[in-house]
Structure 1
């Protein structure tokens, strides 16, 4: 198993990226609505480049800061509109539930699964399929496509959480990369749960 010093560094990076994200989210309230699509496209572009360009490390010192700030900027709109529609109490309960889901499946990945690091290639393919489906959803308005993408995305990042915790157990990680990955996993889980709640309650 990974030693305690390595794990402390992972969680320090994890907390650090949440601080950077929080700063981006705070300034998101000042981002003009006309600029939000551009910021979202930049975030998407960074994601795509990190997937397909060899040597481009999304968790590198510079790119990870830019990514965390930008994703904070574009997340403000989701958080603000959700709180406006459903209230802060529901928002914080879902955030807490997302954290519990993250920790629950992380514990499973770390303590109960021996070595699932080979899952990486399958999760990568699933992520590509999810991205392709998300792009299709911009052009094809199917009733349940967005719901399906939300549910599949939630499941996928739960699996990524188990996979990353298991990588920590088997010492197949770098501290900065793992801290960043765990930050992204938890953030996506929370955002997918918020979207799922909105979808399930939009007609009430």
Structure 2
């Protein structure tokens, strides 16, 4: 084996490792943006929450279906992380009151543990999960529209089904995204945002399901 081949392999591994490190830095960065939004959410009047929700829905649809929006991906992801943080303040306060402090943080720990476990599954135990992508995307679109509809439906069974589907969907997205990292099929900023979204949704759906079960 030649020196050039060895050096090329080392350089490729180092580049891949560097990309993964950058991914986790972006992951933490988006949580910071989310945290700022959550803190400021306590000052947002309740009357503004529905318009912000609708604005987020429009932003999601644009990012999913308008190809030209990809050039603004960095801006869109920052705005999304901030606004979803603003909306999450009310949700967190509700779940904290409904579940109690111990159960609230216990369910968040459960969500983080599930995220880590499915991430390990995707990175170390599955060779290629790329075939999941198209099925996950279709399910995601259906879940987005169903969640928007759920704003106007006060039915525990409907919201229970949404939460179970949401947990399953974003756990599978975690498998899919970690597998993409393993295969090198990612950009650090995009993957950091994806992992942030996966974990946030797992947390929110588990909290919602726990609240429904307790009621």
TM interval, short-chain normalised: over 0.9
Task: Tell me whether 1:180 sits opposite 2:193 in the alignment.
Answer: yes
Deviations 1:141-193 (Å, cap 9, x if unpaired)?
55522111111011000000000000000000000000000000000000000
1:152 aligned residue (154, 162, 165): 165
What's the secondary structure of 2:44's corresponding residue? coil
| Cα distance change, pair 98–140 in 1 and its aligned pair in 2 (3 A) | closer
Long gaps (5+) in structure 1: none
Q: Which has the larger radius of gyration?
A: 2
1:15 aligned residue (3, 20, 28): 28
Matching of residues 4-153 of structure 1 within 5 Å: 4-57=17-70, 60-138=73-151, 144-153=157-166
Query: How many Å separate the matches in 1 of 2:98 and 2:142?
Result: 31
Query: How many Å separate the matches in 2 of 1:59 and 1:95?
Result: 31
| Cα distance change, pair 88–143 in 1 and its aligned pair in 2 (3 A) | closer
Which stretches of structure 1, 4 residues or more, deviate above 3 A after TM superposition?
A: 135-143
Q: CA deviation at 1:55?
A: 2.5
Query: How many Å separate the matches in 2 of 1:73 and 1:21?
Result: 8
More helix by share: 2
In the superposition, the TM-score normalised over structure 1's length comes to 0.93
Query: How many Å separate the matches in 2 of 1:31 and 1:140?
Result: 24
Q: CA deviation at 1:38?
A: 1.2
**Corresponding residue number in structure 2 for 1:165:** 178
Long gaps (5+) in structure 2: 1-12
